Amino acid sequence: MLIKRFLCTQTAGGGGNGRGLHRHRWPVKQVTKSNFSEALDEIKSSIFNSDYVAVSLQNTGGHSAPWQKLLPIDTVETAYMKAKNIAERFQILQFAVCPFSVKASKLIAHPYNFHLFPRDELKIGMPSYSFSCQSSYLTSMAREGFDFNACIYNGISYLSKAQESGAKVQFGHLTPGSCTDRPSSSLVYSVADTLFMERIKSRVRNWRNACKDPSNATEVADALISSLRNLVSGNEVFSSRPSLTIDVCSERQVPLVMETLKEFDDVVTLPVASGVGVQAVRVVLTSSAEDKNQLEKEIKDMEEEKRRLVHGFREVIDLISTSQKPVIVHNSLADFTFIHSKFLAPLPMTIDEFMSSLLSEFPQVIDVNHLMEEVGMLEKMSNMQSATALLDSRFFVPVEMDILNRGKSDDEDVHGHKALRVSRLFLKLCSTLKIRLDTPDLVHTLRQFSNRFTPQAKTSPKDSTDNVGIWKDRMRTVGVESLVFLWGFQRGASARDLKDVISDDSREDFDVRMVDATCAVVVFWNPEDSEQFLKGIDSGEGLSGGLKDMISEGLQAAGYETYKRACCSGMLNAPLAECLDLVETKCEDNIDSKLSSRPRGQSVVIGCRDDVIELDDL
């Protein structure tokens, strides 16, 4: 069915469609475990027939302390560590996917909203997650009609690629002959190989003859005697058919068994895997060629069902990756640390490793935030709904939207609309920036906006990678060594109060901003001033009376490396001052020991990337 709705923005003062857009709820198709198989076939076609895929996540929580959100003072490394801490602690409950294409000003969308919940479907101990929840996030979801019972009992589970690799050692694939290639008939066997193969052939031949002996079919035996006979002979039943398990001592014997059984055209062989590889080969006897074909089909169906249970929602992630379509998001670093953590593998320690791993799966990720930076009035705006409303009021960018799959009418109050809004905002931004989405060189045009995972990735590449840019009336560049963090001052102290005290110490060329209520950052335009300031705080010498009084009352100072360690600490709820105190105390001995263990003459380099600090945003 087709929902067709014309969404036309109006000029400023004309009422605007933006407000109407936020009031309207599209009936996005909701997908749970009960209709996942059906939806999987649909979304596969939608992804491969579309030009882009927009995604949006609904998590159980995020940052709690104000300093844990991405700040202008964050380098690429600290931004990644903050996002990593959050992704490892919280869980995805909903994952909205919207494959879409653009024809002129028409957006052709296929929105889906998947309800997720990690559960141990295969009874193998994975996934077995404990995760945090923040009441504000859950309250927001509840207000929008989210059904937590349906999520817990009918949410779609999954295994990441790393977890699947671990799970494969706990169970074997059932596909006949799938584990090992059969050896060529021209291969020269050793005497031991030949004896082993002859013993297997004799055993299987006697077993087949016994199974096909008419007297066995008509004999009425005591149940105990029948069970003992099957135990002695090794008889089993697989899918109501007689089967025999042949144990092997090594992987080398598996192809020998397979080769031996080639002469029996009425048996199906199944490798049986264990934690250390294939430990046995199961032989199943069929009654006819039709029965053999039927058994092989049943086994393939069982394998497919097991594969889908293992993959779960990751089937969708794999489809997006396989399609190699550009992925459109809002806040790429936050979303893709979650995606990597839950569906690929544990997050690596560095952002370079993270990007290398991620881009091997998703080669082109476009964050609409970076497109917004190109529109002057949106440069400092990160809220998607506000940006859309502003575009609607200032620019005439008509968007015709066709939703080619729809949910039920009562799905309108459920999540899943944000992926649609991301795709719509992407089209409006491209239109505003005169980026034609139907041009042959589109990939090259969008490359400048692709794979930028931090808010500050726009900084000019000519700047030194050891520098950060600070906007205040005009662009000024300083190194991270010019930043000093202050904490331990009285509650209620403002940036102006701290600046006045530091100014009394004959320092003028600097600025102060609060990071949270417990900590401030001081930016010295001259790096030597920051070094002298830190030495003065440590020694108490050469300081004004005001600073000396604050030091006696507990004022502390540290450079950027201490802040970086605080970002790595994983303390999401504590004030920044508490985290700085902890890492200063806890890491001092470890750092000293690491420095003393380095070869003499080897320097310690603090690496960072280009970043832009907007002091007024702190």
User: What is the DSSP code string of 203-266?
Assistant: HHHHHHHHHH-HHHHH----HHHHHHHHHHHTEEEETTEEEEEEE-SSTTHHHHHHHHGGG-TT
Q: How far apart are CA 249 and CA 280, in angstroms?
A: 8
- Predicted local confidence at residue 187, as pLDDT: 58
**Would you call the peptide bond into 118 cis, given omega within 30 degrees of 0 as the criterion?**
no
pLDDT at 470: 54
Q: Where are the alpha helices (DSSP H) in 433-485?
A: 442-447
Output the pLDDT for position 365.
Answer: 95
User: Rounded CA gap, 336 and 355, in Å?
Assistant: 10
What homologous superfamily is domain 467-617 in, according to CATH? RRM (RNA recognition motif) domain (3.30.70.330)
pLDDT for the residue numbered 417: 86
pLDDT of residue 2: 37
Domain with CATH 3.30.70.330 in the chain: 467-617
pLDDT of residue 341: 95
Which residues of the chain register pLDDT less than 50?
1-23, 173-175, 178-184, 218-220, 457-466, 469, 471-474, 591-618
Position 117 scores a pLDDT of 92
Contacts of 29 (CB under 8 A, 6+ apart): 39, 111, 112, 113, 405, 406, 407, 411, 416
- Secondary structure (3-state) at 560: helix
Cβ–Cβ under 8 Å, residues 63 and 72: no
Contacts of 102 (CB under 8 A, 6+ apart): 51, 52, 108, 427, 437, 438
Stated pTM of the model: 0.76
Helix (H) or strand (E) holding 591: helix 576-597
What is 3-159+312-447's CATH superfamily?
A: Ribonuclease H-like superfamily/Ribonuclease H (3.30.420.10)
pLDDT of 356 reads 94
| CA–CA dist 52, 57 (Å, integer) | 17
Q: What is the pLDDT of residue 518?
A: 93
Report the DSSP beta bridge partners of residue 241. Answer: 238
Dihedral sign for Cα atoms in the order 243, 244, 247, 253: negative
HEC sequence for 108-133? EECCEEEEECCCCCCCCCCCCCCCCC
